[in-house]
Amino acid sequence: MKTDKKEFRREAIKQRDSLSAMERKEKSSLVIKRLMTLKEFRDAAYVMSFISFGSEVETNALIQYCLDEGKQIAVPKVIKADNEGKRLIAVRIGSMETGFKAGSYGIPEPTETEGRIVQPEDLEFVVVPGVAFDTKRFRLGYGGGFYDRFLGGTRKSCMKAAVAYECQVYAEIPLEAHDLQMDCVITESNIY
């Protein structure tokens, strides 16, 4: 597929942004309920989930559920790495109430990391964002490669579950060799 990734990304975000706030809220609720039915999620003691931003599937209820159920929950934070530029780390949180500020991309991130950094290989279930997905479960992210690099460090048994609206799933998306395949993509109407 020769479609330019930037252009495809722009169109996919435009499509997602076209959903009304009410549609996003209703569809997000259905997506999260579907995710919670997965045995891999129910069995996972250590979960990582992104904090939703903009028109993404809303994840705050999922994060709060994990906290309420006693699951260890981590959220992403982008940090400056020595010679690598920026990279994604997982930070364990104990509450959704305090300790967040907008990170380098405007996305809420935990402010406190001391003693809270979680190694990728310790995670059992990761909830992954994305701009677009295909029916074979490949993901088109925002273009920074943060999740592709981070997920490469998780163990094979770690479930990588992307959440999206059905309008974000395409028959085909532009891919490169480093793009990772998710274990599943969960929408309001399907689990791929």
pLDDT of amino acid 2: 46
> What is the helix (H) or strand (E) element at residue 65, kind and residue range?
helix 60-68
Structural domains present in the chain: 5-186 (3.40.50.10420)
- Residue 21's SS3 state is helix
Average pLDDT for runs of 10 along the chain of length 192: 79 96 98 98 97 96 96 94 82 89 88 92 98 96 90 96 98 87 97 97
pLDDT of amino acid 154: 96
d(CA 86, CA 104): 10
d(CA 13, CA 131): 6
pLDDT of amino acid 143: 86
pLDDT of amino acid 84: 66
Q: What is the pTM (predicted TM-score) of this model?
A: 0.93
